[in-house]
Amino acid sequence: MTIYKDYFTDEELLKRFTMYAVDRAGFGVTGGNAEPCISKQTAMIYSLAERIHRVHQPLIIMAGSYGVSIACRMIMDYPNIVRGLVLVAPSLGPGLEKMYWVTPLLAKGVVSKLVSKEYRSASIEKLHHKKELEKMFPLWNKIDVPVFYLQSENDGVVYSSNADFAKKYLVNVPLLKIHLFKGRKHDIDSKHHLAIRNKIIQLFKMVGSS
């Protein structure tokens, strides 16, 4: 939630949206353990997305990094709920991200008990992420909403080659807009808040009038 604080106080967004932030399993205020299966994580969030969709339309999802995998899976598994995607530093292609040597140690065993729940959960997700993304290969043609893709051009955590993956596999989207910022920073949500905010509003105007 902290990295999105600028969005929840942004007057231009508050004039147009009712905004929600979701803690994934194993993060934030959730009491459970990490869930490495993307389709199961998506099912956990679906009931909330469906209730929001009934009250507030159009439903636009802004997601970052690993969360992008869940946002995309939402459209694959539950069509006609989400009207647009804003993807920030998105992890889309299997293996197109940095794997740290310490990740297996943080995911299980003695060391995992010495770190925060968030570090442990992120490590568990990361260990399984490649295989989970491979399961999504046959499903990318189900994404049929406008997509805005934003990332640092030299992102050292999730590689910008994910943009090429998006171009190749998002074959049924009516619009794919890719913007690469200068630099290597992965968490760009705060640094490029205004640029990302403007893309959200642009997408809203597009799908809200369709």
Q: Reply yes or no on whether the pLDDT at 210 is more than 70.
A: no
pLDDT in tens, 24-69: 776 766 666 778 899 999 999 999 899 888 888 899 999 999 999 9
- What's CA 161's distance to the chain center, in Å? 16
pLDDT in tens, 147-167: 999 999 999 999 999 999 999
Q: In whole angstroms, give the CA distance from residue 141 to residue 170.
A: 6
What mean pLDDT do residues 119-145 have? 91
Q: Does 112 reside within a domain?
A: no
- Higher-pLDDT residue of 81 and 110 is 81
Percent residues over pLDDT 90 in the chain: 66
Q: Which residues pair with 178 in a beta bridge?
A: 149
- Tell me what pLDDT residue 108 has: 81
The stretches of 135-185 forming alpha helices (DSSP H) are 162-169
Q: Are 157 and 84 in contact (CB under 8 A)?
A: no
- Tally the domains of the chain: 1
CA distance to 115, 126, 127, 146, 178, per residue, from 172 (Å): 42, 28, 30, 9, 16
Among residues 99, 103, 37, 101, the alpha carbon closest in space to that of 70 is found at 37
Q: Does 33 reside within a domain?
A: yes
Whether a cis peptide bond, with omega within 30° of 0, leads into 104 is: no
By three-state DSSP, how is residue 191 classified? coil
Q: Does 122 reside within a domain?
A: no
Among residues 144, 136, 185, 192, the alpha carbon closest in space to that of 165 is found at 136
Q: In whole angstroms, give the CA distance from residue 156 to residue 196.
A: 20
Among residues 73, 103, 69, 90, the alpha carbon closest in space to that of 187 is found at 90
Q: Does 79 reside within a domain?
A: yes
DSSP string covering 59-95:
-EEEEETHHHHHHHHHHHHSTTS--EEEEES---STT
Q: Which domain holds residue 186?
A: 2-94+131-208
- Domain harbouring 163, CATH code: 3.40.50.1820
Q: Does 114 reside within a domain?
A: no
Q: Does 81 reside within a domain?
A: yes
